[in-house]
Amino acid sequence: MEVAVVGVTGLVGQVMLKVLEERNFPVTKLIPVASERSVGSKVEFQGKEWSVIGLEAAVAAAPAIALFSAGASVSREWAPKFAAAGTHVIDNSSAWRMDPEIKLVVPEVNATALTKEDRIIANPNCSTIQMVVALSPLHQRYGIQRLVISTYQSFTGTGMQAVKQYELESKGFVPKPEEMAYHYPIFENCLPHCDVFLENDYTKEEMKLVNETRKILSDDQIRITATAVRVPVNGGHSESVNVELKQSFDLAEVKQLLAETPGISLQDDPARNQYPMPLFAKNKDEVFVGRVRRDESVDNGLNLWIVADNLRKGAATNAVQIAEYLLAKGLA
């Protein structure tokens, strides 16, 4: 099982290596891939050093699986070339997510849709992944009519430059303009600005939550609005999700349903101050759900607080889980 990791020197690429190793994915040969400036550098995996190679050499190697985390432009150009060589590409960028011919997959929700012919598979946006893990069992049981989403997203979701900006600011330095990932400081601040603004004044991140959720849950009728906020948290996205269900529900049944759903850890005991927090979700693969309570202002309303490590379940772990599914079902 030869596995390429494209974008191996980036934040998510490094976590992909860690997750592959932790989950004992049967890698017989690692093919670390990065931009030309990183070719020849070394990465460590399974106690050995592996040399980074370029994209052309990686395509020629025709690995069984390629985990991509190198940005949308790289993916649009190179994912089809890997696919043509017989590789299953699992792509973490936004390049293929809304392509009607490409599956957008969260294994706990819709992995059964995958076939051997799916050579390019899209990994959803980090905020979408953790949310749909929690929403899917509710949608199946009660039906979802409307979602109002507010996110509190770690700066690590923006990448290395944002981490460096935060580190400089936290030490009292003022970054140079070219060192800024954001228009404003992120240290001790909240930025209601994730990705770029669109013509409707929503950001791309907010519209990803709208469009990807509908695609993954296979329901274009769900009404969704979102506000995405970048916060000074070093790892872990949090979401306040207000859900309007189509049917009435028993709150105890909702909690039991969430507790029994694979991939979810229910932390919901306000009397003991137990609720999900990014501080404790960091480096874990579960989606943590708590503050489960009725919205008493609307019929069939429910409030959820959803937290996950955005670099793991929100990116690397989800991609590796897709690869595990392909392997387990004999699709790769």
Reported as a single tens digit per residue, the pLDDT across 117-140 is 999 999 999 999 999 999 999 999
Where residue 213 sits, what CATH number does that domain have? Answer: 3.30.360.10
Burial (0-12, 13-18, 19+ Cβ within 10 Å), 259: middle
Reported as a single tens digit per residue, the pLDDT across 291-323 is 999 999 999 999 999 999 999 999 999 999 999
Which pTM was predicted? 0.96
Q: What angle do CA 37, 42, 43 make, to 5 degrees?
A: 115
Q: In the annotation, is 139 catalytic?
A: no
Could you tell me if 33 and 134 lie in one domain? no
| Percentage of the residues of the chain whose pLDDT score is greater than 70 | 100
Rounded Cα distance between 142 and 135, Å, is 10
Could you tell me if 211 and 277 lie in one domain? yes
Could you tell me if 264 and 319 lie in one domain? no
Per-chain mean pLDDT for the chain: 97
**DSSP code of 100?**
T
Reported as a single tens digit per residue, the pLDDT across 36-45 is 999 999 999 9
Rounded Cα distance between 221 and 17, Å, is 38
Q: In the annotation, is 194 catalytic?
A: no
Could you tell me if 151 and 114 lie in one domain? no
Q: How confident is the model at residue 150 (pLDDT cuts 50, 70, 90)?
A: very high
Number of compact structural domains in the chain: 2
Which residue in the list 126, 190, 193, 194 is annotated as catalytic?
Answer: 126
**Taking the mean position of all CA atoms in its chain, how far away is CA 76?**
19
Rounded Cα distance between 165 and 19, Å, is 26
Q: Beta-carbon neighbour count of residue 239 at 10 Å?
A: 24
Could you tell me if 143 and 116 lie in one domain? no
Which residue in the list 88, 139, 194, 237 is annotated as catalytic?
Answer: 237
Rounded Cα distance between 58 and 86, Å, is 12
Residue 246: predicted pLDDT: 98
Rounded Cα distance between 6 and 197, Å, is 28
Residue 227 structural domain: 128-310
Could you tell me if 74 and 133 lie in one domain? no
Could you tell me if 46 and 99 lie in one domain? yes
